[in-house]
Structure 1
Amino acid sequence: MISLNLSPSLNPGLLHKTRTRQQPTRLSALLVTNPKPFNHRYPLGLSPIPNLQIRDAAAKPLLSLSNPESSSGFSKRPRSIAAVGSSDSNPDEKSDLGEAEKKEKKAKTLQLGIVFGLWYFQNIVFNIFNKKALNVFPYPWLLASFQLFAGSIWMLILWSFKLYPCPKISKPFIIALLGPALFHTIGHISACVSFSKVAVSFTHVIKSAEPVFSVIFSSLLGDSYPLAVWLSILPIVMGCSLAAVTEVSFNLGGLSGAMISNVGFVLRNIYSKRSLQSFKEIDGLNLYGCISILSLLYLFPVAIFVEGSHWVQGYHKAIASVGTPSTFYFWVLLSGVFYHLYNQSSYQALDEISPLTFSVGNTMKRVVVIVSTVLVFRNPVRPLNALGSAIAIFGTFLYSQATAKKKKIEVGGDKKN
């Protein structure tokens, strides 16, 4: 009789993610083979589903475990596999195991709450101080470059002091990363341009229309979506249109910037899914760090060309309007640091929860940011504008529900095949 217990630890930290797997205690004639360790989930559209196989000495497969909810091949909860017919059971051990699972579940829930809290808080801080800096220094190209610079320096510090494992960089990886980094640059600078011209709340309402572009571009590239997904994007389009027509601070440049940002980030996700599938050993945070560095190299030379001649004059005007240089420096520094931190927290949240829960959390985050910035900057909001914003955000919620059902159907079909 063979008894095999596997209890992987799937509780990654914020800055360092590790996986441990207990070795089987009674396995003399079995050989466990596992492919390269992957991260739980990848941002930018990557979602690998590796398999774990247990083979005997003659290399005959005895057991195959594959779970789309976890890239390690296991679900979030530890599983135990025991031989059929085992009669060894201790009530005390079962009771202790149940209490341990409850404590672990409570600890995980607490940690997830902290991660969500940090994610929301960091996003709010970024949006507030980013807008404060842009109000006195309306040069989004330089500010966007600094935000990428702050994230790049942060990742270099983590790698240099071995606070986070440094990725293995190869020439093929850099080549595959050039496209996603370019689209990330376009998405980031376009959003900053929009923030500089219109209210933060309006930009976020328009950016809630990103699923519309995702469905359209993916369909043009051959993906198919059920009717529920297409119907879910209708309230997004209607809500964004109503919000745009009734927006007090409406500006064509601000609207265009938010729309281009949606296109840029959608193309980044699609391109990443197609070009980076063979580099699954690079985890999400390292991938984002590499993209930030390449995006900085893309953006800063163009920023010098577009608005570099106005920076010195704009700096003196900003200092004069703020009163003290340290205050302006503080705003710019917070916008750069918290831009990277909120992205980092979002990846940590994605590692801990399902894509559907993440989508719902992201939708609620947008609501929190909109309400917070309206209260801080006291932007006038018309009733129809508020209604349009609510319809658009509700549409993104419906979209997340519909796409989650589509993924479940696809996974179920793969398992049957």
Structure 2
Amino acid sequence: MISLNLSASLNPGLTRTRQNPTRFSPLHAAAADKPFSCQYPLSLPQIPTLQIREKPFLSILKRSRSVAAATGGEFESSEEAAAKENKKAKNLQLGIVFGLWYFQNIVFNIFNKKALNVFPYPWLLASFQLFAGSVWMLVLWSFKLYPCPKISKPFIVALLGPALFHTVGHISACVSFSKVAVSFTHVIKSAEPVFSVIFSSFLGDTYPLAVWLSILPIVMGCSLAAVTEVSFNLGGLSGAMISNVGFVLRNIYSKRSLQSFKEIDGLNLYGCISILSLVYLFPVAVFVEGSQWVQGYHKAIASVGKPWTFYSWVLLSGVFYHLYNQSSYQALDEISPLTFSVGNTMKRVVVIVSTVLVFRNPVRPLNALGSAIAIFGTFLYSQATAKKKKIEAGDDDKKN
């Protein structure tokens, strides 16, 4: 038999009764020192003292909370963190779209000019570019890679005008590219806001003084660039000007006739315009220069040396013409018109610089200055028109 004297450190107020080992009963203080006998073998190991330590991230969290409380800050909720992550992902996606838009535009301008240098028949080349875009959209719709729009007779009727003016703008720009340097055509095309303000004013729109003042540097810059352009050609200048008129009228008529078809997004709208523009353009192209295509083809192959080289130039110009327009419509769906206008202005700068470097076109100092003034005027115009739209939107909210 082992006799144990339980220490008060274990628990002086509790003892085990012999009759019922599982029950505990309190004893008087006087009986606490009496020995307790037990017939069962019993050993009591020494109980180690446990020390609970905080994990490092818990201590950091506590310190962060104390700092936030002292500075009056609050911890971000999971919703706020998710919103920030979504914003970062959206900005990354938009940056990729802008990068593709710029890259595809540069590739189009380079290979379009290469093809026109050896095959100076812009009507056929412009028709092929619309054909490539039409085939691209038909493939997307046929294989359900992109939702096919619901085509109705009223929609086709409403699309006739914008598609016609798109055709005029596209073929005129292609004619201009065939006769002058790409950089010069883009400088003249930066004057598009001038025509937009003039035509819209005739149709009843009013513009503040800031908008009218912004078109002055555009006119001055384009005039200076035209006078000092080394590759100046009246046909090239006229083509770029007519292109401005065509695209401005396309935008105006699209706004007026297609407002009731908002269920059709920008990409599908551009695909439908490409198909209808091809129907407009190709018969006229055959009439204008169709008799010269065979002879021009043989000359182009002879000058290039390898047929596949010429084919690749034409193919790349067609594919990237559609892709850069597709990217621009995707960007326009995600950003404000002001951001799009600024991006379009910067795109024109990038294209001008890239084509000058690739084709090594001579640029005089006054020509570069005029180009810079015209593009800066385009930037001022985009700022002024954005403020106008913001004021109009505020007035509409007040009326509602």
Larger helix proportion, structure 1 or 2? 2
Aligned sequence identity (%): 91
Whole-angstrom CA distance in 1 between matches of 2:389 and 2:357: 38
Partner residue of 1:367?
Answer: 349
Shift of 1:172: 1.1
Deviation at 1:95, TM superposition (A): 2.1
Q: Which runs of 5+ in 1 are unaligned?
A: 1-90
Within the alignment, does 1:327 sit opposite 2:309 as a pair? yes
Pair 1:381-2:363 in alignment: yes
1:279 partner SS:
coil
Q: Deviations over 1:237-256 (max 9, x none)?
A: 00000000000000000000
Mapped partners of 2:397, 2:91: distance in 1 = 30
Mapped partners of 1:203, 1:113: distance in 2: 27
What SS is found at the alignment partner of 2:259? coil
Aligned equivalent of 1:129: 111
In 2, distance between residues paired with 1:136 and 1:281? 43
Shift of the 92–212 alpha-carbon distance from structure 1 to 2, 3 Å rule, reads closer
State the match for 2:391 in structure 1: 409
Which of the numbers 204, 208, 211 marks the counterpart of 2:186?
204
Bigger radius of gyration among the two: 2
CA–CA distance in structure 2, aligned partners of residues 93 and 167 of structure 1: 46
Within a 5 Å distance, the mapping from 1:196-345 to structure 2 comes to 196-345=178-327
Instruction: Tell me the equivalent position of 2:57.
Output: none
Indicate the residue corresponding to 2:61 in structure 1.
Answer: none
Alpha-carbon distance between aligned partners in 1 of 2:174 and 2:138, rounded to the nearest angstrom: 24
Q: Counterpart amino acid of 2:221?
A: G
Greater than 4 Å deviation, 4+ residue runs: 91-94
Counterpart AA for 1:392: A
- Distance apart, 1:92 and its partner CA: 11
2:87 matched residue in structure 1? 105
Instruction: Give CA-to-partner distance per residue, 1:89-141, whole Å, 9 cap, x none.
Output: xx999521222122111111111111110000000000000000000000000
Distance 1:381 1:206 in 2: 15
TM-score (norm 2): 0.81
Task: Give the Cα–Cα distance (whole angstroms) in 2 for the partners of residues 354 and 176 of structure 1.
Answer: 25
Q: Structure 1 CA distance, aligned partners of 2:301 and 2:382?
A: 44
After TM superposition, give the deviation of residue 352 of structure 1 in Å.
1.4
Partners of 2:190 and 2:170 in 1: how far apart? 15
| Aligned CA-pair RMSD | 1.2
> Quick one: which amino acid aligns to residue 186 of structure 1?
V
1:117 correspondence with 2:99 = yes
1:167 to 142, 146, 149: 149
How many angstroms apart in 2 are the aligned matches of 1:277 and 1:350?
A: 16
Q: Deviations over 1:133-161 (max 9, x none)?
A: 00000000000000000000000000101
- Rounded Cα–Cα distance in structure 2 between residues aligned with 1:392 and 1:366: 11
- What is the letter of the counterpart of residue 217 of structure 1? F
Instruction: State how far apart, in whole Å, the 1-side matches of 2:373 and 2:223 are.
Output: 10
Instruction: Quote the Cα distance in structure 2 between the aligned partners of 1:112 and 1:416.
Output: 32
Question: C-alpha separation between the residues in 1 aligned to 2:314 and 2:270?
Answer: 21
For residue 206 of structure 2, what is the amino acid of its counterpart?
S
SS in structure 1 of the partner of residue 290 of structure 2: helix
Q: Structure 2 CA distance, aligned partners of 1:343 and 1:351?
A: 13
Letter in 1 for 2:105: N
